[in-house]
Structure 1
Amino acid sequence: MVNRVEITNKAAEMLARLKSQHGALMFHQSGGCCDGSSPMCYPAGDFRVGPQDVLLGEIAGCQFYIGAAQFEYWRHTQLIIDVVPGRGSGFSVEAPEGVRFLTRSRVFTDEEVSQLEAAGPPSRAA
C-alpha cells in the first residue's frame, strides 16, 4: 500500500534531532501562499487539529495532518517532506536550526490511486 506522505532521509535525520530536543512532534500542512503553504512541525499538542484536518499518515513517528480544503487539491499526489537550508517564517520547530521543511510531491500512479480508493478515505482529526 502506498503512503500518502513520505519523508526523505535528510529530513528524517533532522526530525530525529528535533525530537531529542522537543519530545514528540507533529506536522500540519495548510494551504496558503508563501510560507503559509510550508509543512509546519510543532511539539505534539501545540497545534490544535479538528474535524477540518485530514490525517495523511505518519512520518518518522510523527502524525502528519493537512487541512481538508488543501487535501482536496492534493489528494492525487504523494507528499514528500524534505529539509533545505534557509529559514522560513512561522513557528515551526526547525527554524532555529537554519533549515526549513519543504513539501515536494509526485502524482500517484493509476494503480496507487486504486489502492487508496479501496482503502477508503483517510481519517479526520477529532
Structure 2
Amino acid sequence: MSCSRVALTPEAADLLRRLREQHGPLMFHQSGGCCDGSAPMCYPAGEFRTGDSDVHLGDLEVDGEPIPVWMSAAQFEYWKHTHLTIDVVRGRGSGFSLEAPEGVRFLIRSRLLTDDELAALGLL
C-alpha cells in the first residue's frame, strides 16, 4: 500500500490552477510559526529555498503537474502522524503567499493517519 501525506480539496485545486496560470509552477511550504506562519504558504516553484531543515511531504497533482509540499522539520515532528489536506477559505492570509490578493487563504485540515497508512510509511 502506498500512502500520501498530503491532499487537496477541489476548491484548492481550482485556485491552484488559476495561480499556476499567473505564476507558473508552484510549491507549498508549511513553517509552523505563529499566526500566518502556521498556514501553508504557496510560492512560485523554487522561490522559497528548502534545505536540510525541511521535509518533503509529497507532491500534489493538479492536472498531472506536481506541486511539491514541504514542511519545516521541527513542525513535521509534531505532525508526522497526520494526513494533511490543503483547503481554501475566504479571508486574507499572509501577504507572502500567492493567494493573498485573491481575498482567500490556504489552510490545513488534518486527521490522524490510519494504522495501515502508518505501516506503509514505516511508522508502525
Q: Return structure 1 stretches of 4+ with deviation > 3 angstroms.
A: none
Aligned to 1:30: 31
Cα shift at 1:64: 0.4
For the 8 Å contact 1:35–1:90, the answer to whether it is kept is: no
Cα shift at 1:90: 3.2
* TM-score, length basis structure 2: 0.92
Identity among equivalent pairs (%): 64
Aligned pairs for 1:96-111 (under 5 A) are: 96-111=101-116
Of residues 104, 107, 117 in structure 2, which corresponds to 1:112? Answer: 117
Aligned pairs for 1:1-126 (under 5 A) are: 1-59=2-60, 60=62, 61-117=66-122
Tell me the matched-pair count.
Answer: 118
Specify every segment of 5 or more residues in structure 2 that has no aligned partner in the other structure, as ranges: none
Specify every segment of 5 or more residues in structure 1 that has no aligned partner in the other structure, as ranges: 119-126
* TM-score, length basis structure 1: 0.90
For the 8 Å contact 1:35–1:88, the answer to whether it is kept is: yes
The C-alpha deviation readout for 1:31-90, integer Å capped at 9, x for no partner, is 111111000000011111101110000113210000001011000000100000011123
Q: Distance in 2 between matches of 1:8 and 1:87?
A: 19
2:52 is matched by which residue type in structure 1? Answer: P
User: Tell me, what secondary structure is at the counterpart of 2:93?
Assistant: coil
